[in-house]
Structure formats: C-alpha cells, structure tokens
Structure 1
Amino acid sequence: MAYIAAFDAGTTAMKGTLVNEAGETVVSCSAELTTLTRGGFQEQNPGDWWAAFCAITRQFAETVTPAEITGVIMSGQMQDLILLDGALEPVCPAILYCDGRAQRQAAALEQAVGAECFLRTTGNRCDGSLPLPKLMWLREQRPDLYRRTAHVLISSKDYLLARLTGVCAGDVTACATAGAMDIRRKRWDETLLAAAGADPALFPALYQPHQQVGAVLPAAEAECGLRAGTAVFAGIGDAGATTLASGIRAPGQYNINLGTSGWVAAVSEDILLSEAGVFNLAAAAEGCYINVVPFLNAGNVHRWMAGVLGRAGGAPDYETAAALLASSVPGSHGVLCLPYLCGERFPVLDGDIRGCWYGLSPETTAADLARSCLEGVAFSLRQGLERLPDTPVSVSLIGGGGQEPVWCQLLADVLGHAITVLPDTQFRAAQALASLVRPEQPAGTARAEQEKVYVPRREFRALYDGLYAGYRKLYPALRGL
C-alpha cells in the first residue's frame, strides 16, 4: 500500500494525515503550536513548526513503514514573513499574517508605485500585514537581521519544505498574499520589489501546488524519519486547501472557514477589484481565482472567550463555554461584542482597533457575554458576504468552529441562510491535498449524510437585523479611542 502524507502547518497546531490510494484516512495526528505575542507583534518560532512536524512523522512510523509513504504535500498559514540565512536557519521568529506592524512602510510602498498599480498587479490592496511591507520594516528597524537574510518565505509550510528538500519554494496561492506577486502572470513583480528596495533573489521559486519541489534529504531523514528520496510537492496555502476541500466550484457558492482566523471564500474567473476588503488569490486551477474576505478574528475569539469565562485558570475551558452557550438566548439580551481582539483587516482595515462589549447591565450574565462573542464574529461574516457580488446559492462551513452547534445555528440565523457544516475537516483537507498529486482521486467525497444543515429561524430574523444595525455603528464610534 502507498500513502500520501498530508500536513497542515496552522496557527495553533500542526496536523498530519496519512491518505491511502483509495483516499481513506489511515491515521491523523496533531501537535500544538504557540504564538509569541509582545507589544502587539504576533510571531512564531519556525523551529517549533519543524519539531511538531517531526513529532507527527515519528508517530506515522508506528503505523506504516517509511518506504510506504510515496509523497509529502502540505498546506499552511499564508502571508507570513519568514527569514532564513544561507544555511536555511531562521534569522528571527516568523512575523505572522495577523501582525500589522508595517502600516507606515505599506503607505510608502503604495505611494511609490501608486495604489491602482499595486491593486491591479497583486489583486489586493496594500496594507501593513503584507510580507513585502514587513520586509521593509525589518530592513529599517532590524538592519542586522536584514543583512543576515538570504531567503524570504511566505508560508509556514514552505519552511518545512526547505528543511526537507533544501529548496526555497512557494506555491502561487500562498505567495499571492506577499504583496509582491503579479497575480495574473504568477511571477514576482520586479517593479514592486524595486520600489520596496528588495532583492528579487531573496524570494522563493514559484510552483503550482501539484508540482514536485524536490525530495527528502538524508539529513532530514535522520531528524523526521521520512525516507530520503521521498517526493515532496509544493502544496498550497491554507485558503486554497480549504476551498478545494469545501467543494465550491461556481459563483454563488460560498465557504466559511472558522479556524483561528477566518474567511469567506468564493471562486471566480477573474479577480475582484471593485470590492474593498476582498482578497484575491491565484487558484490551483488555471484561469480560476479564489476571492476571499479575510478576518483576523474568528476561532481565536471563541478560544479567548473559553479562557476568560471558563474555569481552568485562563486556559480555554470549552466544556464550561459550551454549557454557557447552551443556556444563552438569541441576541444575548442586547449585549454586543466587537470581536477585534488583535486589530482587524476586514470588515475594517485597522491594526490598532481593539474589541469591546457594549450594552452591559446589572442583568447581564456570563451566558450573554459568551454568546455575544460568537454573534460578533457572525456579524463580521455577514458584512463579508455582503461584500461579495453574487447572491448566495449555498453556504458551507468548515473549520473547528463547526464543532460548536450553537455557533452554527446562530450563524444561520444572523446570515439568514442555511449553513451546511462539512464534517471531518482534517480528512477533507488532507484528501484535497492528496488529490493534487493524485488527480484520479477526487476531493471532498465525504458522505452527504454526515453533513449537518442548520436552517435560519424566521422568528429571530428581525431581532438579528436590528442588532446587526447596531453592531455596524460600534467601530465608527470607537475608532480613534
């Protein structure tokens, strides 16, 4: 039997799955990851990604022999800035996608090339969370680190590829988030790099997700246990992987991802330039684009709420949180939550804004606080869907948030549309990755009867429409405080 080893290098965990020739999951493992938060900066240690990866591959060896694993393919968080020296060692912690420290540099870059030029070249607007402005920030603020930099990577998975193969590579979906790639030509844009003062030689070679980058090196075999010579493929950024896994194929089909961060994804035959806040990605298929409305705050809000309101000394206490949610009522007795824990990039682009509760009274309960957090994320998602041009035909949900039934139902109520929760999220993503290198193996074939559909309840429509109107006023009122 031959297996594909599929991995997801996420924000809170590294996940690994073995998929056999029939597209079945044989074993799944995960290892937690830690984010370093200081002074508003959001960073992770690339060495932790590698240690988690190796821990998972060693678990694989308890089920199959290394010779049976014929290929490795990954997805991972995008829009990071990962700096390596000439020996492929990290120069400093990776600056994560949710870190918007480079607003001033982004403004300077946009002024140098013109906002319209930047938008039409990259498919996206210029802001301080993009890797290219972050590289400018690092050159200005940490020149000693910049001088040591020989390679720049954009996705967490690409650091793992470099450790496995010795090749610095990136897929066109993840690298579309760099703020430096011509999205239609799928090439690094020399005009943007020159305006940023960045050497094109720093940036990785660009691949389609199904293309082989290299093979596992003997040195990597000694650390992770994968057999030297095993094929390693480029893989795809996490938004691309979940879009494949969700099965959306046509305009009007939308997928909501509720991971640590979140997004609403659609597909189109061209990039969307008219809608502010819509992020465009190059898709795996030629002539296809993924249109994403990205949110910094989604599952992290659920996790924060479970820690603050739980009983585990600040650690996420999902059991207590679930009990609070089960006892809550729609509308949270008028309490509104602006869920911007770490700034936001949609529905507002503001790295400095922070969250709040509004409408507290002596009668407010812990259940109201818990539910209002998830309603706040749902209101943000509603704003996201309203930015996309096509009337929803179907809305699916994937990610860890789909495991909380109260959240799924209130999402249907807030959006006014049925929500199909796709089961076996990790399986679907792994199967989608495996299908990239095994085209004969279709993606997203989980049984329909496993899917759970949440239907909006008409009796709460007017309530949520009114609360949504109030929610829309919170950010303008708080901005600048």
Structure 2
Amino acid sequence: MKRDEKTEYIATFDVGTTAVKGVLVDETGCPAAALSVEIATLFEGDQKEQDPQSWWDTFRKISLEFTKSVPSAQIEALVMSGQMQDLIPLDQALNPVCNAILYADGRAGEQAKRIEEIVGAERFLRLTGNRCDGSLPLPKLLWLKEHRPALYARTSHVLISSKDYLLARLTGVCAGDVIAASTAGAMDILQKRWSGELLAAAGVSQDLFPKLLAAHQRVGSVLPEAAEHCGYLPGTPVFAGTGDAGATTLASGISVPGQYNINLGTSGWVAAVSNSPLLTQEGVFNLAAMPEGRYINVVPFLNAGNVHSWIAGVMAGFAGREATDFDALGVLLTQSVPGSGGTLFLPYLVGERFPVLDPDARGCYIGLTPRTTSADLARAALEGVAFSIRQGLERLDAAPESVSLIGGGGREAVWCQILADVLGREIAVFRNAELLPAITVASAALLGLGKISCYEQFTASLGGLETCVRYTPCIGSGEVYGPLYERFCRLHPALRTLW
C-alpha cells in the first residue's frame, strides 16, 4: 500500500512474556503496520527466566520489517511498554550477566523476609505501596549477591522492565519509568525516587539502579550502531515509555473509582485508579500512573492466560492436535455448561500471589465423577481463573460500576461470558486488545514531542468503549456460580498443607 510521504509515525512496542508486539502508528493512533513475534521462557523447577538477547533479536526483526514498510525518515520516535518486576543485571558494557529473572519467579523469599525484618513490614508498605515478597527485584538482587556472587560482582547496572533493556541497547542509557520501578521494592512511591533506606537494608548500591523518568520523558537518541542493526535513523528520539500495567490501564480508559479493568495476559490483574496508594487492603499492589499525581491500584494474578494456554495444550494432546490449537478448545468450550458439572479447578499452576501469597501452591481439580467430561475440565479451568478475579474485585474499595477487559484472553468468547456470569457484571471487551497497549503508549512519545497536551487527548481519539464487544450475565448464572464460588474460596485453605 502506498504511504503518504508526509505522514510521521511512532514505532511502538510491547515487550511481553510470550511475545514482542510492535505497532507502527501515525499521530492519530492509526496502525500502518503491526507484527507479533513469540519469545521463549526458560523454566528450571520453579525458576522462570528469559534471555534478554531474545528481546533484542525480536525487536530488531520487527523494526527491520517496519523500515521496509515506512521510510525510516518518517519514523519520528520510539516508545515501548514491557513486563515489569524483572531483575535484569547488566555489566559495564550493558551486556546481560545472566538471564533476566522474571516477575513470576519467587525464589527470593528468604531475602524478602530479611529485608522486611530490617525495615519493618508497615514501613516497607508505606514507602513502596506494596508488601515485601520474593518476587520483587530488590530481594532477587540480594539473592543474586548471595547465591551467584561472581555474577553479582560483574553487575554494574540493574533494570526492572524488559523494555528498559531495549532502551539501553538503543541509547546507551540505563533508565526506567516510575510505573515499572514501582514493582522493584526499592522506590519511594510518593517521592518517585529510589529509597536509600530500602537499598541500605538490602546492602546494595543505588549506583546500580537506573535513572527514573516519567513515561513521556526522553531517554536519549538511537545510537549509530543501534541504527545500523535496527533500520532507524541515528538520532531518532527514544522515550521512557511505561511498564505494561501503565499502558494497559491507560488503554482501558478507566479514570475514576468504580471503573475496573481486567487484563488477561499470560498473568493477569484487576486494575483501578486513585489519587493515592491503597494501603489498607491485603494483596493490592500500588503503582505510579502515567498521568502524574495518580496511582494504579492492582490486584495481580500469576495465573490467567497461562491457564488458557495450558488447558488448550492438554486437550490438543488428547486429540492428537497441535498444542496451539485454540480454535479446537473454543469448540470444546461451546459444548460445556456453566458450573462444569460441579467440577472446580484451583488455577495456581505457577504458585500464586493473589488471592493467596503462596509460591508453592499448585493447580488441581476437585469434584471429578464418572460423568465428568473433557468439556467440563476445559471450562472448569477458565472458571477457576474467573473465581480468582472475583476475589480480586472484592478486595478493591469501590463497588464496580463498569468492568472492561483487555488482553489476549478476550479472544475466547466463552471465557468472556464466564467472567460476566461469575462477576455478575457486564464486561466490555476491547477488540484487538492485544495491540492496544502498544498503540496507546504512543501517547507518551507524542506528549514528549509536544504534539499533545495530555495522555487523554490521544487515548480519547482511539474510539473508547464503542469499540468493545459487551457480555452481560445470563439469567440464573448467579444461582449456579454463587455456591461454587463459596466452595472455591475454601479450596486453598483446605489444601495448602499438601504442597
């Protein structure tokens, strides 16, 4: 297709857990090109890692496709969102000293306990907006120091978000945004700066940590050597961008208490916004937001889309099909009935951080009978995630007035209906939701370039909720799911001694 030679574009990326997604958008948010490339996660027991080089290789591949589609002279800036709460140690030359330790990896539980004992649980909560646990990067850094001292000795820089590694490769600058840095367990969430008190408690130097920026602030420019590998012009501005929760929350359009957004990615969360951190509810994670002075209140789940992928693979294996045959799972789900014949599934495949903080918990089925079908097993898995999400909504303060859904899980229509039925609320599901975070983060670059006055000026132009498919609760669904939900809430307390 012939492009307007006067049109300028923002190259945007979302560096997720399962894929890197790139979208080339114009200044109105209209995509000119989009590409998603899967990346691998490395598992060793309960440890979960990724090779940062795979992020860079995938980013380069997408970028080179973009610059075939649009002349690099018409790409005016780069900006990204990415997974948060990782530990990414780099040496002095900005090369990874080891694999990135991912957010879902809770190996640093003992280190977290020691940091919390030194600082005090309530003090840690007041400083960071969050509880201290072994999934946070600060305890993970202490774990690296104690268990991999040779690697720690080579570490000159620590990054928190996958996209920040790409920023460092592009610009030579180690920087991070305050949204992703909120997950580090080391940032004063009110002051938006690294806390000397917390770093001292862990016995690590602040010099390791990146410069903190707002999403719309410029990190630097594309270096000549990076431009040669990626196809962009040297000197192209690169902006800080945001952790994925910041982009997703902005894309969902929630702006006042009572509006909630569900994200169904590999992991998931329920998000709301407020004018201050929510410190009174156990399990609520607090992040700085892209608009300054606001906060995102998040109930995070380790198990969401990964459960969908797992059950799709299991059912495909039974039928001799490809593990990624999600269409076949969709057909099977249409044969299921609400309540799955009384079968319940506890969806803690990789441990869980909410509604329980238990890295050792595992998934299980309860209530199997000779009449249980494959359709029951498939549906029960997705109902289990929906029950966890209901527990998350009940933990947040304001009564739900509206609930939207974003993320790849929104493509599974039966799952969307399950969520509406379990929550007893209409669910507005964004079309093309897997690309929205990457498109929305373009607002940070446009704000940084002075082309818009606020984030909302751009996101309002994307169409809003009229682009949604709406799912309303079926009549009688509360009678089915109410008793099952009560049983579900009792499962982990009854089973936790078995792990």
Q: Tell me the residue number matched to 1:172.
A: 178
Counterpart code for 1:315:
A
Residue 465 of structure 1 pairs with residue 482 of structure 2: yes
Evaluate the alpha carbon distance shift between residue 354 and residue 434 of structure 1 in structure 2; reply closer, same or farther with a 3 A threshold.
Answer: same
1:148: Cα distance to partner?
Answer: 0.5
Structure 2 residue aligned with 1:244, among 241, 250, 268? 250
Q: Tell me the residue number matched to 1:151.
A: 157
Cα distance between partner residues in 2 of 1:427 and 1:359: 38
1:449: Cα distance to partner?
Answer: 4.2
Asked if 2 retains the 8 angstrom alpha-carbon contact of 1:19 and 1:430, the reply is no
Counterpart code for 2:331:
A
Equivalent position SS for 1:270: coil
1:319: Cα distance to partner?
Answer: 1.8
1:423: Cα distance to partner?
Answer: 1.2
Asked if 2 retains the 8 angstrom alpha-carbon contact of 1:215 and 1:232, the reply is yes
Cα distance between partner residues in 2 of 1:425 and 1:248: 15
Asked if 1 retains the 8 angstrom alpha-carbon contact of 2:72 and 2:232, the reply is yes
* Cα deviations by residue, 1:83-127 (Å, 9 ceiling, x for unpaired): 000010000000000000011100000001100110000000000
Asked if 1 retains the 8 angstrom alpha-carbon contact of 2:403 and 2:425, the reply is yes
Structure 2 residue aligned with 1:386, among 394, 402, 405? 394
Cα distance between partner residues in 1 of 2:185 and 2:437: 26
Q: Tell me the residue number matched to 1:418.
A: 426
Asked if 2 retains the 8 angstrom alpha-carbon contact of 1:171 and 1:209, the reply is yes
Cα distance between partner residues in 2 of 1:380 and 1:113: 31
Q: Tell me the residue number matched to 2:492.
A: 475
Cα distance between partner residues in 2 of 1:35 and 1:215: 30
Residue 289 of structure 1 pairs with residue 295 of structure 2: yes
Name which of structure 1's ranges 367-376 and 218-227 shifts more when overlaid on structure 2. 218-227
Post-superposition, which runs of at least 4 consecutive aligned residues in structure 1 deviate over 3 A? 311-314, 447-450
Q: Tell me the residue number matched to 2:14.
A: 8
Q: Tell me the residue number matched to 1:443.
A: 459
Cα distance between partner residues in 1 of 2:320 and 2:48: 24
Equivalent position SS for 2:441: helix
Evaluate the alpha carbon distance shift between residue 192 and residue 447 of structure 1 in structure 2; reply closer, same or farther with a 3 A threshold.
Answer: closer
Counterpart code for 2:458:
P
Equivalent position SS for 1:62: helix
Q: Tell me the residue number matched to 1:76.
A: 82
Asked if 1 retains the 8 angstrom alpha-carbon contact of 2:218 and 2:239, the reply is yes
1:432: Cα distance to partner?
Answer: 1.6
1:415: Cα distance to partner?
Answer: 0.2
Q: Tell me the residue number matched to 1:214.
A: 220
Q: Tell me the residue number matched to 1:452.
A: 469
1:221-300 pair list within 5 angstroms: 221-300=227-306
Residue 343 of structure 1 pairs with residue 359 of structure 2: no
1:460: Cα distance to partner?
Answer: 1.5
Q: Tell me the residue number matched to 2:376.
A: 368
Cα distance between partner residues in 1 of 2:9 and 2:398: 39
Name which of structure 1's ranges 217-226 and 99-108 shifts more when overlaid on structure 2. 217-226
Counterpart code for 1:442:
F
Cα distance between partner residues in 2 of 1:233 and 1:3: 14
1:313: Cα distance to partner?
Answer: 5.7
Counterpart code for 2:220:
G
Q: Tell me the residue number matched to 2:187.
A: 181
Q: Tell me the residue number matched to 1:397.
A: 405
Equivalent position SS for 1:174: helix
* Cα deviations by residue, 1:126-157 (Å, 9 ceiling, x for unpaired): 00000000011111111010000000000000
* Cα deviations by residue, 1:294-344 (Å, 9 ceiling, x for unpaired): 000000000000001114567232122111101000000000000000000
Cα distance between partner residues in 1 of 2:379 and 2:435: 29
Cα distance between partner residues in 2 of 1:410 and 1:148: 49
Cα distance between partner residues in 2 of 1:168 and 1:465: 49
Asked if 1 retains the 8 angstrom alpha-carbon contact of 2:406 and 2:434, the reply is no
1:437: Cα distance to partner?
Answer: 2.4
Cα distance between partner residues in 1 of 2:357 and 2:320: 34
Q: TM-score with structure 2 length normalisation?
A: 0.95
Asked if 2 retains the 8 angstrom alpha-carbon contact of 1:431 and 1:443, the reply is no
Q: Tell me the residue number matched to 2:340.
A: 332
Evaluate the alpha carbon distance shift between residue 175 and residue 317 of structure 1 in structure 2; reply closer, same or farther with a 3 A threshold.
Answer: same
What RMSD, in angstroms, separates the aligned Cα atoms of the two structures? 1.1
Equivalent position SS for 2:95: coil
Q: Tell me the residue number matched to 2:3.
A: none
1:436: Cα distance to partner?
Answer: 1.8
Counterpart code for 1:387:
R
1:286: Cα distance to partner?
Answer: 1.9
1:447: Cα distance to partner?
Answer: 6.0
Counterpart code for 2:208:
L
1:450: Cα distance to partner?
Answer: 3.2
Residue identity (%): 62
Counterpart code for 1:184:
L
Counterpart code for 1:187:
R
Counterpart code for 1:90:
P
Cα distance between partner residues in 1 of 2:393 and 2:379: 21
Cα distance between partner residues in 2 of 1:449 and 1:295: 28
Structure 2 residue aligned with 1:193, among 193, 199, 207? 199
Counterpart code for 2:33:
V
Cα distance between partner residues in 2 of 1:126 and 1:430: 30
1:430: Cα distance to partner?
Answer: 2.9
Name which of structure 1's ranges 426-435 and 125-134 shifts more when overlaid on structure 2. 426-435
The count of corresponding residues between Structure 1 and Structure 2 is 481
Equivalent position SS for 1:479: helix
Residue 135 of structure 1 pairs with residue 141 of structure 2: yes
Residue 301 of structure 1 pairs with residue 279 of structure 2: no
1:422: Cα distance to partner?
Answer: 1.1
Cα distance between partner residues in 2 of 1:231 and 1:415: 44
Cα distance between partner residues in 2 of 1:276 and 1:86: 39
* Cα deviations by residue, 1:232-257 (Å, 9 ceiling, x for unpaired): 00000000000000000000000000
Counterpart code for 2:412:
E
Equivalent position SS for 1:442: helix
Cα distance between partner residues in 1 of 2:324 and 2:390: 26
Name which of structure 1's ranges 454-463 and 290-299 shifts more when overlaid on structure 2. 454-463
Name which of structure 1's ranges 425-434 and 164-173 shifts more when overlaid on structure 2. 425-434
Equivalent position SS for 1:251: coil
Q: Tell me the residue number matched to 2:27.
A: 21
* Cα deviations by residue, 1:418-447 (Å, 9 ceiling, x for unpaired): 000011224432332111222435215226
Equivalent position SS for 2:459: coil
Cα distance between partner residues in 1 of 2:472 and 2:113: 44
